[in-house]
Amino acid sequence: MNGPLPKPRKIDSSFQMKHFSLFLVLGFLVSPAALADVFQFSLRGYPKEDRNCFDQTRSIAQKFEEGTKVKVVHVECVAERQTGYDFSIEYEAPKKLEFTSTDYSFVFVGNAGRYREQSDCLKNLPVQIELFTQATGLAPVFSYCRSLELSVGKNWEVIITAKGISNLKPSLGSYLMFAKPQGITYEEVYTGLKNALSKQGAILSDLIFHFNSVMGTGEGAVHYFWDKQFHFSMERVTKVPTFEACSEQARDLKAFLGEREKNLFAIYCGDRQFGAYDLHVGFIEKPALEWPKSMEKFSSFSECVANKDQVIKHHQGSALSDLLGGLCSEDFETRAYHVILFKLPK
């Protein structure tokens, strides 16, 4: 190829700068919207404030925006209950929001319901809001009493929902009771449970007894804040013929067990069941304590008591466990009496 070289083309820098500037302006205007997306939040059983649920959507949107600082794009009423409505809230945010809530997933034992009457729930609601705020450090977006219309005797529950995730999460636990507590007050059981949970770093929110439940004589529903689930239990450790004997055993067990079992929260006698009285011991986790029965048999409670110290002395000396003491108990099947030996692993 011969001949003169072509002249270099002149680049219009002003044209490039205009497009580059336009790109920056458009990018600045579009990027916030481009980063946002629409997500959905379900609000179930919110109390009725208007005859028509759609009349409440504006106030629901306002509460959600004030509590979350994001924009609501749509609120829809999706179901009506006897005492409240279900709402679907669509909101715009860079990512899906996380919430901390007492709106527990379904638990068969220890149903989330707390109170038989709406008035009891409403009376306790401010207390629960304060406990929730202190435990989680989060401000509630929604807080109300919700009716569990299919629940039996546990009709009203406290619903508190806040934006954000807390290290201490609202949790629900329960334990079965096969006899009503005797010789001990609700406040004593509550305080014992509160202290036992506190030793683990957990916070007790509420303890509700539900008697005549579908499971046994009753249930203790435990509402608390912690980062894991506790396994609550109420164990029957001895069976004796009189309430006086059971009460004496309760005092003896408290004396020799003392503070040595960290998971213990209550010791009490139940009411009369099948002609006898049971000594009950409550734990917030699987206990370190063991209570095997001795092999020695006695024909009566009095005979067992008379020989109890000798049996305890015979079983002492283990290199693997400390024998704290013993209590007499009737075997449900054979009707014979044995010494129940209370041991702690060394």
Q: Identify the pLDDT of residue 10.
A: 47
Phi-psi region of 81 (alpha: psi -120 to 50; beta: other; left: phi over 0): beta
Convert the pLDDT of each residue in 141-195 to its tens digit: 999 999 986 666 678 999 999 999 999 999 999 898 888 999 999 999 999 999 9
Q: What is the pLDDT of residues 94-143, one digit of tens each?
A: 999 999 999 987 655 556 678 888 999 999 999 999 999 999 999 999 99
- Could you give the strand order of the β-sheet that contains 140-147, starting from the edge strand earlier in sequence? 99-101, 156-163, 140-147
Domain boundaries, the chain: 38-169, 290-346
Amino acid letter for position 13: S
Q: Which helix (H) or strand (E) holds 344?
A: strand 337-345
Torsion, Cα 197 233 222 103, to 10 degrees, reads 110
Which of 175-179, 217-221, 324-328 has the largest mean confidence? 324-328
Q: Where are the alpha helices (DSSP H) in the chain?
A: 13-35, 57-68, 118-136, 186-199, 243-257, 301-315
- Whole-number Å distance between alpha carbons of 252 and 106: 40
DSSP class per residue in 241-304 = S-HHHHHHHHHHHHHHHTTS-TTEEEEEEEPPBTTBEEEEEEESS--S-B-PBPS--BSSHHHH
